[in-house]
Chain A
Amino acid sequence: MYAFQYHRPQSVADAAALLASDSEAKILAGGHTLLPTMKQRLAGPKTIVDLGHVAELKGITKSGNALVIGAMTTHAEVAGSEVVRGAIPNLARLATMIGDAHVRHRGTIGGSVANNDPAADYPAAVLALNATVVTNKREIKADDFFKGLFSTALQDGEIITRLSFPIPGKFGYAKFAQPASLFALVGVAVAQTGSSARVAVTGAGSSGVFRQTAMEGALGKGWSAQSLAGIATDAGKMMSDIHGDSAYRAHLVGVMAKRAVAQAG
């Protein structure tokens, strides 16, 4: 690790001011992505702004037809929340599938979404559920938020404050874990709102989380695992590594999509 200045603001406004003071400043949430890169000297920010003591970034509420989760809410809190389980049960279930117990008690939904790791679980849910990413500056629709591998619509110093998930009719998420990291080798989230369906895929796409529109069309016509039969995913747009070549990943998208629909009920 290189030396850095550590700040612990109590409010979003103070955090924003600190971030504005150094264009290379980094937000620290759960630290489960940021700290390993700093320890390995792959990142060397001079200013660290820890959001861990900003009370307004925490908490889970149901507000109208939306489930609102504060950015600093940990995966374990989402997994254990009665509010989440009541509103979108399989979102709570998704949170139980992230990493291990240590990770779930440190890692945050804001950090995960801001980081946009192409194999992270939440981005698939955010995209399938057509959620809104709320920052200290604006509201960003999921379709406009994810911009590719580790890249988002966030500007320098912009702070995610919460995520707002419209409560769907049905939601399911099926994950096939990469054997070493347990991140998603392929994860598919499916949501039905009214008669329209959204399908989002993580882990597989060479430009990160994406919507599988052919599947959305099929599910829009008939919500069942069988309606996905024969719908291929373009292997040319899949990632390839030692854990899964593009053909395997493309195949798994189909398998996991069916399982997600079955889980959603």
Chain B
Amino acid sequence: MSATGIGASVRRKEDQRFITGKGHYTDDINRPGQAYAVFVRSPHAHATIKKIDTAAALKSPGCLAVYTGADVAADKVGGLICGWMIHSKDGSPMKAGAHPALASGKVRYVGDHVAVVIAETLAQAKDAAEKVGVDYDTLSAAVDVATAQSNGQPQVHEEAPNNTVYQWHLGDKAAVDAAFAGAKHVTKIDLVNNRLIPNAIEPRAAIGEYDSGTDSLTLYTTSQNPHVARLVLAAFIGLAPEHKLRVIAPDVGGGFGSKIFIYAEEVICLWAARKINRSVKWTGDRSEAFLADAHGRDHATHAELALDGDGKILALRASTKANLGAYLSTFASSVPTYLYAPLLSGQYNIPAIYCEVDGVYTNTAPVDAYRGAGRPEATFVVERLVEVAARETGTDPAEFRRKNFITAFPHQTPVIMAYDAGDYDACLRKALELADYGGIGARKAESAKKGMKRGIGLSAYIEACGIAPSAAVGSLGAGVGLWESAEVRVNPTGSVEVLTGSHSHGQGHETTFAQLVSGRLGIPIEQVTVVHGDTDKVQFGMGTYGSRSGAVGMSAIYHAIDKVIVKAKKVAGFVLAVPEESVDFKDGIFSSTATNNTLTFPEVALQAYIAHKFTGAQLEPGLKEGAFFDPTNFTFPSGVHICELEIDPDTGATRIDRWTAVDDFGELINPMIVEGQVHGGVAQGVGQALLEGAVYDKSGQLVTASFMDYAMPRASNLPSIKLAMSHTRCPSNPLGIKGCGEAGAIAAPAAVMNAITDALGHENIAMPATPLAVWRAAQKSPTKMAAE
């Protein structure tokens, strides 16, 4: 291992600029002649728009334009799309309502886009926006996912009767029913996976720019996947052909999924830029982020587990209502279906699984992928079920899990996934040891002496990352392929630019991708630059989400480097005057058994460009190669997290005392960055379990619309995390890596809730387990679980 190659904890190259305030975010960009956009948003969850009066706003000082849904329709601007087709059980395609960039006729959630006001300055745009008069006829709102499908509920979209977008299922119902019929014990739980508001540090922003000379558009935006944004804006929304549209996503301050999607504000800034022939800038404020960024999770699930007399799992079934919000966001339909149910086998040998999911419209903000996307929801179901089943059957929860672990690979689950590699017991053993699982009894007794209730909870998670084999997702309804591209450009002096279709918004790609190049080409890491986030520089790419940038994005770079090495060896053969086949390349040096002379990588790079030692007939000059990598399988990171906590029954306050994480991410590129990803993920998962939860009132007003009421995790909510790794190599990519970006957020909620219910002695508590919720639950007496 070289000091800056794969496996080294290289300090993050990008942090120099981030820590010194030199990052370059969308809002840092200002274009000549730029005007400012402010959106008039619906104050109602559900209303008919009777009339919009823009006259006073247009007369307001500095106001350049006011546009409404009628203008968008008149210009035939395409609606926002949902890029994954889901079919219902009966074979019918999902029922999606129209999603215009500015509301047409009706508003469907608080924060819905009613009009845009564009003015010379931001203050003038705000002044003018206050003067837009909107006459609403308010309607009652469908808010609660549990009841939104009932007869007589307000209808969000005419196209979707009873607010039902789809009624989807996966698995063999008959086999599952048969297994349940023969079960010795059945565990049943009802779970709510609470709605989360992403809250990346950087709010969304967009600048649309029009060049009338070339009739082309440029969008600067806070995106995790600028090429997909360009494709959608060109092919579906129809703002410009792809070759006349450039999308630039510069430094992006966190996404967690919320910046994958194509939003109305981006469409409107681009469209309006052409209309007024000026650059149009919008920067969302925190309040807008709360209201109108796509939220995450929001499932209500009933789940059951069937056991035989030996505590072996026979079957699992789950029935989920997934709140999709008021419109289908870009990937909304896939999250509670194909990103969820195929993970319901967890780490366990479960012969039969059946899951049905209703996708439901409500008068709330759209819901889409958020860190983990579907997999946290699945893990929560499986790990709560398994924990409760262990308790009900009087089995130690660790032992119960071990008894049901999958131990042979590859393993085909009954729900699509074929797990390729793993050693679940290795993670469990190590985690139990690090957590001093055996000492929990004594620690509980110590806590009890102080009047505190101590609990311990396990979460043995699995996720499907490295999203995804294109043919596989295509067969499941995805509108795109999920490969990744890379180009490795070697400069004549031997420095390297890596162009990648992945996008870094906190992950540290500028470091990890450079490590791959530094290690394989034997050049200093300072000689490598990673270029991403600009459709004019990088030809195409699928972006960053689903812990895919390592397993898929870096694999593309790996293959491009392979090609660079092949070509460089040819060049070296000419320069050394030896047969190409005799050239060896190691640690940055080209050598040959046929000569004592050697060449360094920069020397060969120079020779490739000056092209003095070979003719054009023999070899093309230059040293630049590209590759597309399409994985052959998902990757399957797994691990065991153990949470130990103490509850103060007088106040309901929960303090996490210990956190142990043992993860199997396959090979690690940069262990320090991997640990940071786990820390951040755990923080978000603890946030979901203890603190976060979007609350809408009955009328559809967002009660948790600011940090005054929406509790984000803080450092003081987290213990020091004890972290260890276990390694099984991933066979489906050349680097053997599985991905680590979402693991913590996937593992943590179940670990926390298993610990809380252990401490309380009963299962009657939902996330977020706020002090109020825990205090109430602590009033209820523990139930002594007995086998049925």
Q: Which residues of A contact B (CB under 8 A)?
A: 1, 3, 40-41, 176, 179-181, 185, 241-245, 248, 251-252, 255
A180 to B653, CA, bound (A): 13
Q: Do residues B703 and A248 form an inter-chain contact, with CB atoms below 8 A? A: no
Is B609 in the interface zone, CB < 8 Å from A?
no
Q: Which of A3, A40, A176 contacts B771 (CB 8 A)?
A: A176
- Among residues of B, the one whose C-beta sits closest to the C-beta of A255 is B650
Contact B709 A180 (CB under 8 A): yes
> For residue B690, which residues in chain A have a CB less than 8 angstroms away from its CB?
179
Of A3, A181, A252, the residue contacting B707 (CB under 8 A) is: A181
Instruction: Give the residue of B650, B651, B704 whose beta carbon is less than 8 angstroms from that of A242.
Output: B704
A179:B123 contact, CB within 8 angstroms = no
Chain B residues, Cβ within 8 Å of A241: 709
Instruction: Determine if B362 is an interface residue (Cβ-Cβ < 8 Å).
Output: no
Give the complex CA separation of A42 and B650 in angstroms. Answer: 38
How far does the Cβ of A222 sit from chain B's closest Cβ, in whole Å? 21
Say whether B708 faces chain A, with CB atoms less than 8 Å apart. yes
Complex: A255 Cα to B772 Cα, angstroms = 14
- Give the residue of B130, B650, B771 whose beta carbon is less than 8 angstroms from that of A179: B771
Q: Contact between B707 and A180 (Cβ–Cβ < 8 Å)? A: yes
**Would you give 14 A-B contacts (Cβ < 8 Å), ordered by A?**
A176-B651, A179-B711, A180-B707, A180-B710, A241-B709, A242-B704, A242-B709, A243-B709, A244-B772, A248-B652, A248-B772, A251-B775, A255-B650, A255-B651
Assess whether B708 is in contact with A1, with CB atoms less than 8 Å apart.
Answer: no
Closest Cβ of chain B to A227, distance in Å, is 17
Q: Is B264 an interface residue (CB 8 A)?
A: no
If A40-B287, A176-B651, A252-B651 touch, whether A243 touches B772 (CB-CB below 8 Å) is yes
Look across to chain B and name the residue whose beta carbon is closest to the beta carbon of A39.
Answer: B285
B770 touches A243 (CB 8 A): yes
B183 on interface, CB distance cutoff 8 Å: no
Q: Which of B287, B708, B776 contacts A181 (CB 8 A)?
A: B708
Q: Which of B675-704 contact A (CB under 8 A)?
A: 690-691, 695, 703-704
B771 to chain A, nearest CB (A): 7
In contact, B708 and A180 (Cβ under 8 angstroms): yes
Are B775 and A248 touching (Cβ within 8 A)?
yes
Measured in the bound complex, the distance between the Cα atoms of B711 and A208 in whole Å is 23
Contact of B567 with A by CB under 8 A:
no
The proximity string for B residues 707-732 relative to A, scoring 1 for CB distances below 8 Å and 0 otherwise, is 11111100000000000000000000
How many chain-B residues does the 8 Å CB contact rule pick out?
24
Cα-based distance from A179 to B690 in the complex (angstroms): 9
Question: Are B123 and A1 touching (Cβ within 8 A)?
Answer: yes
Which residues from chain A contact B653 at a C-beta distance below 8 Å?
176
Q: How far is the CB of A244 from chain B (nearest CB, A)?
A: 5
Give the CA-CA distance A161 to B130 in the complex, in Å. 38
Give the distance in Å from the alpha carbon of A135 to the alpha carbon of B690 in the complex.
Answer: 44
Question: How close is A13's CB to chain B, nearest CB, in angstroms?
Answer: 34
The 7 closest A-B pairs by CB, nearest first: A180-B711, A179-B711, A181-B708, A255-B650, A180-B709, A244-B772, A248-B772
**A179-B691, A244-B771, A251-B775 given. 14 additional CB < 8 A pairs?**
A3-B123, A176-B651, A179-B690, A179-B770, A180-B691, A180-B704, A180-B710, A180-B711, A181-B709, A241-B709, A242-B709, A245-B772, A248-B652, A255-B651
Closest-CB distance, A70 to chain B (whole angstroms): 29
Interface centre among A185, A242, A251, A252, by most B CB within 10 Å?
A: A242
A191 to B130, CA, bound (A): 49
| CA distance in complex: A215, B776 (Å) | 24
B691 and A248 within 8 A (CB)? no
How far, in angstroms, from A241 to B711 measured CA to CA in the complex? 14
Q: What residues on B are CB-neighbors of A181 within 8 Å? A: 707-709
A244–B650 alpha-carbon span in the complex (Å): 14
Rounded to whole Å, the gap between the CB of B95 and the closest CB of chain A is 33
* Inter-chain contacts of A243 with B (CB < 8 A): 709, 770-772
The answer to whether B703 and A242 have CB atoms under 8 Å apart is yes
Is B195 an interface residue when CB atoms closer than 8 A count as contact?
no
Minimum Cβ distance to chain B for residue A33 (Å):
12
Docked Cα-Cα span, A66 to B703, in Å, equals 43
Determine chain B's interface SS by DSSP, over half rule.
Answer: loop
B111 nearest CB across to chain A (Å): 15
Q: B126: CB under 8 A from chain A?
A: yes
**Contacting pair A248 B776 (CB below 8 A):** yes
- CB neighbours (8 Å) of B710 from chain A are 180
Given B126, B695, B770, which contacts A41 in the complex, CB threshold below 8 Å?
A: B126
Minimum CB–CB distance for A170 against chain B, Å: 22
- How far is B211's CA from A66's CA once the two chains are assembled, in angstroms? 70
Interface centre among B695, B703, B771 (most CB of A within 10 A): B771
Please measure, in the bound complex, the distance between the C-alpha atom of A252 and the C-alpha atom of B649, giving whole angstroms: 11
Using a CB-CB cutoff of 8 Å, which residues 83-134 of chain B contact chain A? Answer: 123, 126, 130
A180 CA to B651 CA, complexed, in Å: 16
Contact residues in A for B772 (Cβ distance below 8 Å): 242-245, 248
A242-B695 CB under 8 A given contacts A176-B771, A255-B651: yes
A183 to chain B minimum Cβ distance, whole angstroms, is 8
Which residue of chain A lies nearest to B126 when distances are taken between CB atoms in the complex? A41
B662 to chain A, nearest CB (A): 29
Taking CB atoms, residues of chain A closer than 8 Å to B130 are 41
Instruction: State how many angstroms separate the Cβ of A207 from the closest Cβ of chain B.
Output: 20
Assembly CA distance A241 to B709 (angstroms): 10
Give the complex CA separation of A242 and B706 in angstroms. 13
Q: Chain A contacts of B704 at CB under 8 A?
A: 180, 242
Q: Which residue of A lies closest to B770 (CB)?
A: A179
Nearest Cβ on chain B to A24's Cβ, whole angstroms: 19
Chain A nearest CB from B688 CB (Å) reads 13
Which of B287, B653, B711 has the most CB atoms of chain A within a 10 A radius of its CB? B711
User: A170–B703 Cα gap in the complex (Å)?
Assistant: 40
CB contacts (< 8 Å) of B776 on chain A: these are: 248
Write the nearest CB–CB distance from A17 to chain B, whole angstroms.
Answer: 29
| A interface footprint on B740-773 (CB within 8 Å = 1, 0 otherwise) | 0000000000000000000000000000001110
Residues of B within 8 A of A179 (CB): 690-691, 711, 770-771
Set of chain A residues within 8 Å of B771, measured between Cβ atoms: 176, 179, 185, 243-244
Q: Find chain A residues with CB under 8 A from B650 CB.
A: 255
Which A-chain residue is minimally distant from B776 (CB atoms)?
A248
| Nearest CB of chain A from residue B450's CB, rounded to whole Å | 14
User: What residues of chain B lie closer than 8 Å to A3, measured between beta carbons?
Assistant: 123
Chain A residue numbers with a CB within 8 Å of B708 are: 180-181
**Most chain A beta-carbon neighbours within 10 Å: one of B126, B704, B708:** B708
Residues in B whose Cβ lies below 8 Å from that of A242:
695, 703-704, 709, 772
CB distance from B394 to the nearest CB of A (A): 34
Which B residues touch A185, using CB under 8 A?
Answer: 771
Interchain CA distance A180-B712 in the complex, whole Å: 7
B779 to chain A, nearest CB (A): 10
Interchain CA distance A179-B776 in the complex, whole Å: 16
On chain B, the residues within 8 Å of A244 by CB distance are: 771-772
Complex contacts, B707 vs chain A, CB 8 Å: 180-181
What is the chain B residue whose CB lies nearest that of A254? B650
| A252 to B695 alpha-carbon distance, docked (Å) | 23
CB distance from A257 to the nearest CB of B (A): 12
Give per-residue flags for B614-657: 1 if the beta carbon is below 8 A from chain A beta carbons, else 0. Answer: 00000000000000000000000000000000000011110000
**A42 CB, nearest partner CB in chain B, Å:** 11
Nearest to A100 among chain B residues (CB) is: B714
* A242 to B709 CA separation, bound complex (whole angstroms): 8
**Measured between alpha carbons, how far is A242 from B652 in the docked complex, in Å?**
14
A146 to B703, alpha carbons, bound, how many Å? Answer: 28
B76 to chain A minimum Cβ distance, whole angstroms, is 35
For residue A214, give the distance in angstroms from its CB to the closest CB of chain B: 19
User: Quick one: closest A residue to B713, CB to CB?
Assistant: A179
What 1/0 mask marks residues of chain B from 466 to 497 whose CB sits below 8 Å from any chain A CB? 00000000000000000000000000000000
Q: What is the CA–CA distance of A248 and B703 in the complex, to the nearest angstrom?
A: 19
Chain A residues with CB below 8 A from B770, complex form: 179, 243
Q: How far is the CB of B61 from chain A (nearest CB, A)?
A: 12
A187 to chain B, nearest CB (A): 13
Q: Which of A40, A180, A248 has the most CB of B within 10 A?
A: A180
Contact bitstring B333-367, A, C-beta under 8 A = 1, else 0:
00000000000000000000000000000000000
